[in-house]
Amino acid sequence: MPRNPEIIIVDPDPDARSDAKHVLTSSQLTVVGEADYGIEAVTVAREHPPDIFLVSMEEPVVRAIRTIQMLEGIAPKAAVIAYSSLADAGSVRRAMVAGARDYLIKPLKPEDVTRAIYGILEQEERRRLQLEGEANEPVARGTVVTVFGAKGGIGKTTIATNLATAMVQATNANVALVDMDTRFGDVAIMMDIAVERSIADVARRIDELNRESIKDSLVRHHTGISILPAPLHPTEWRDLTPQHIEKIVDLLAQGHDYVVIDTPGTFNEIIATTLELSDIILLVTSMDITSIKDTALALEMLRTADVPEEKVKLIVNHSTSSNSLREEDVERVLEYTVTWRIPHDYNVASANQLGVPIVVAKPYARVSRAVTDMACALAGLPRERKGFLERFVGRAS
């Protein structure tokens, strides 16, 4: 990867080009050319092929899209980053379809530009090493399961902790549970563990760690789960970047059969990276109107990000016969099939307060059976078999 990547700014507005150049140069990035759309951009690119094209996209976007397509032919090794005042999903999609690798919103911020440029170049470097045979041999990688939801208070952490527990018991596999809740981080409380080292501590040492040494930073729970807690102070999340998250999840996946990740009821760049790295996304909703509305927005966001539908599994939590909405209503409104439903159980709250997963505290309860069935399905096993709960209780005691 170039230590100082070279960039060409493509924007029909000279003042906007000047503003963009100021942002780039203030971030110690090198601007080797500026141009309008079309022939001028192609000419500048031929004279000095860059590492990155920073291309403005404003209405009408036809010229910008055509220019991006031409630049790909002139400098196929360069990556395109679009920037625009248009923040709607349709504009983002058009830029990505045209060939842009990232999409930034005006006004440009130095930290966003730097992160986008170096993130893309790091990906290109890894791809180059693989093509040239210089990269290490591929290593086995476990399945990353992220529990996600559009709002808080819908039971994501309860599902994540119990799912991880049930997966250990159902598969006898190595399971890591990661608290990626950037706001509250309640996994440690629900699993009754002390936080001696958190994901923030791991991030600070990430360059020193490998798939074996990272295990020293995990808390081994009596259920068999290895837990990476959230930091005690939410301000510590400020030091974590998407690159940290990518490396942490990758190392954990190399050393575990399953990595279960709990997330907050919000969306940020940390969560965006987590979802991108996930093999399976469990999208949780409850049966109230506001949760359904927020889940519809979350599904639209995932579609806009081109997340394959087969990767997203919809879970209805706190399901009861007294819900004002029926499951078919949820499916009709969301235009999405419910994969699993978790029944409501008042015992869950008391189990959480005691720091004991409900699948351990009440293994025969309907909610425990539902979570265990989900764990078996994710592992590709038959539904809960006769004798399984007896083995489960024996191991948990």
Helix (H) or strand (E) holding 300: helix 289-304
236: Cα separation from own chain's centroid: 19
Report the share of the chain in percent with pLDDT over 90.
58
Provide the pLDDT confidence category of residue 88 given band limits of 50, 70 and 90: confident
Provide the pLDDT confidence category of residue 107 given band limits of 50, 70 and 90: very high
Same domain, 71 and 168: no
Tell me, yes or no, whether 10 lies in a domain.
yes
Average pLDDT across the chain, whole number = 88
Distance CA 314, CA 44 (A): 49
Tell me, yes or no, whether 244 lies in a domain.
yes
Tell me, yes or no, whether 329 lies in a domain.
yes
Total structural domains within the chain = 2
pLDDT of 391 strictly over 60: no
Residues 6+ away with beta carbon under 8 Å from 293: none
pLDDT number for residue 321: 56
Report, as an integer, the average pLDDT of 18-22. Answer: 94
pLDDT of 388 strictly over 70: no
Same domain, 272 and 337: yes
Residues 6+ away with beta carbon under 8 Å from 41: 8, 10, 35, 53, 67, 70, 71
CB 281 within 8 A of CB 305: no
Half-sphere exposure of 346 (CA within 13 A, CB side): 0
Report the share of the chain in percent with pLDDT over 70.
91
Reference 378, options 159, 170, 154, 155; nearest CA is: 170
State how far the alpha carbon of 55 is from the alpha carbons of 61, 69, 188, in Å: 11, 11, 45
Distance CA 73, CA 68 (A): 9
Tell me, yes or no, whether 183 lies in a domain.
yes
Backbone angles phi, psi at 195, to 5 degrees: -95, 100
- Boundary (domain end) residue, out of 131, 152, 172: 131
- Boundary (domain end) residue, out of 110, 131, 152: 131
What DSSP assignment string belongs to 50-108?
A: -SEEEEE--SS-HHHHHHHHHHHHH-TTSEEEEEES--SHHHHHHHHHHT-SEEEESSP
Same domain, 205 and 241: yes
Q: What is the CATH number of the domain that holds 111?
A: 3.40.50.2300
Tell me, yes or no, whether 33 lies in a domain.
yes
Same domain, 257 and 369: yes
State how far the alpha carbon of 184 is from the alpha carbons of 13, 271, 278, in Å: 44, 14, 21
Same domain, 104 and 154: no
CB 243 within 8 A of CB 201: no
CB 67 within 8 A of CB 96: no
pLDDT number for residue 58: 86
State how far the alpha carbon of 289 is from the alpha carbons of 269, 294, 325, in Å: 27, 9, 8
pLDDT number for residue 132: 62
Domain that holds residue 44: 6-131
Provide the pLDDT confidence category of residue 184 given band limits of 50, 70 and 90: confident
Same domain, 51 and 76: yes
**Residue written as token pair 């789960």:** 225
Q: What is the CATH number of the domain that holds 340?
A: 3.40.50.300
What are the pLDDT digits (tens) for 246-295?
999 999 999 999 999 999 988 889 999 999 999 999 999 998 889 999 99
Sheet of strand 79-84: strand arrangement: 30-35, 6-10, 52-56, 79-84, 102-105
Tell me, yes or no, whether 138 lies in a domain.
no
What DSSP assignment string belongs to 209-267?
A: --TTGGGGGSEE-TTS-EEEPPPSSGGGGGG--HHHHHHHHHHHHHH-SEEEEE--SS-
pLDDT number for residue 327: 82
Angle at the Cα of 248 from the Cα atoms of 295 and 258, rounded to 5 degrees: 65
Q: From the CB of residue 134, how many other CB atoms can be counted at a distance below 10 Å?
A: 8
pLDDT number for residue 324: 64
pLDDT of 40 strictly over 80: yes
Report, as an integer, the average pLDDT of 136-150. Answer: 82
Helix (H) or strand (E) holding 368: helix 366-378
Tell me, yes or no, whether 1 lies in a domain.
no
Same domain, 72 and 115: yes
What are the pLDDT digits (tens) for 212-234?
899 999 999 999 999 999 999 88
Same domain, 267 and 310: yes
Among the ranges 61-65, 117-121, 187-191, which has the highest mean pLDDT value? 187-191
pLDDT number for residue 191: 95
Same domain, 114 and 207: no
Same domain, 208 and 124: no
Same domain, 84 and 200: no
pLDDT number for residue 225: 96
Radius of gyration of the chain (CA): 24
- Boundary (domain end) residue, out of 73, 105, 131: 131
pLDDT number for residue 256: 93
Report, as an integer, the average pLDDT of 351-372. Answer: 92
Report, as an integer, the average pLDDT of 296-301. Answer: 93
By three-state DSSP, how is residue 198 classified? coil
Same domain, 190 and 79: no
Tell me, yes or no, whether 165 lies in a domain.
yes
Burial state string for 160-198 with b = 16 or more CB within 10 A and e = fewer than 16 = bbbbbbbbbbbbeebbbbbbbbbeebbbbbbbebebeeb
What DSSP assignment string belongs to 105-164?
A: ESSP-HHHHHHHHHHHHHHHHHHHHHHTT-SPPP----EEEEEE-SSSSSSHHHHHHHHH
